[in-house]
Amino acid sequence: MTELGLLFAVFAAISWGTFFVPVRKVTIKNIWQLQGATSIGVLLFAIPVGYFWGFEIQLGGLVSGIIWTIANLLALLSVRLIGLARTSPLLAGFSIITSFAWGITFFNETFNSLILALIAIGLLLAGLSLVAKGEKNPSIQKKGYFVAIASGLIGGSYIIPMQATQTLQSGFFSSSLSIFAIGIPMFLLAKRFIKKETVAGIISGSLFNLGSLSVLNAVALIGIAIAFPIAQTATLFAVSWGMFYFKEVVQRQGILRVSMGVVIILCGAALLAIA
């Protein structure tokens, strides 16, 4: 069961590491429209899953949807301000801090070696720091860093209401419905229905919920303190997209620094998996 839980966590990392790519590709102009379109993709993915997990309306799921919506709006703003390669490590790093703190303080999750787990978290954060500082660019808006940190701190708590009420699976549809209910008014109020942005948002929403489905299974099998940090190695994939596809990091020194950060992150994730 542990191996299956780790597999789900890794799959969540791949999905979450890719879900910002469609909206980054179309250039983020109208955050409200993108959030609304994303909410459509979230619900479209949740409906077939509901046939297996149920269509119950759970309070924990509804609250989780609200938390995620706030975090994602901030993340979209951060990507617009500082790019995907800089935003993703900060989101991941501070989500790890939040989820790890919840796991050991509220849910009383234990490890074979707490010291080893703390060392692993330290490696993850050290690697994320290197990635975030990959390349200086005076043209970026530095407030985006603070927006990304806020998004990470908030987003790291989004599944807590479902775990606290023991509705991880039954709350999946509720959280998706909550995201949709908040997102549709934003979509309508945007008053700018750009087709390519709408399609990009729907694809992103589907990718996000694919990751959510995976991480909920992982949390149920191996706990949030391990599953969520591993899932946050999504930054490896997001940074790769930012560097090699969107060319957000082009200087040799910056690429080297980011590559070193990636290796450290992988070491931290591996260490956490065996802690």
CB 99 within 8 A of CB 229: yes
Distance CA 74, CA 241 (A): 20
Q: At what angle do helices 171-190 and 31-53 cross, to 10 degrees?
A: 150
Per residue in 89-103, pLDDT tens?
888 878 888 888 888
The structure tokens listed for 104 are 């050991």
Give one DSSP letter per residue of 67-103, joined into a string: HHHHHHHHHHHHHHHH-HHHHHHHHHHHHHHHHHHHH
Question: Does the pLDDT value for residue 273 go beyond 70?
Answer: no
Quick one: pLDDT at residue 261?
A: 81
What is the spatial distance between Cα 169 and Cα 36, in angstroms, rounded to a whole number? 24
pTM: 0.85
Q: What is the pLDDT of residues 226-256, one digit of tens each?
A: 887 788 788 888 888 888 888 877 777 888 8
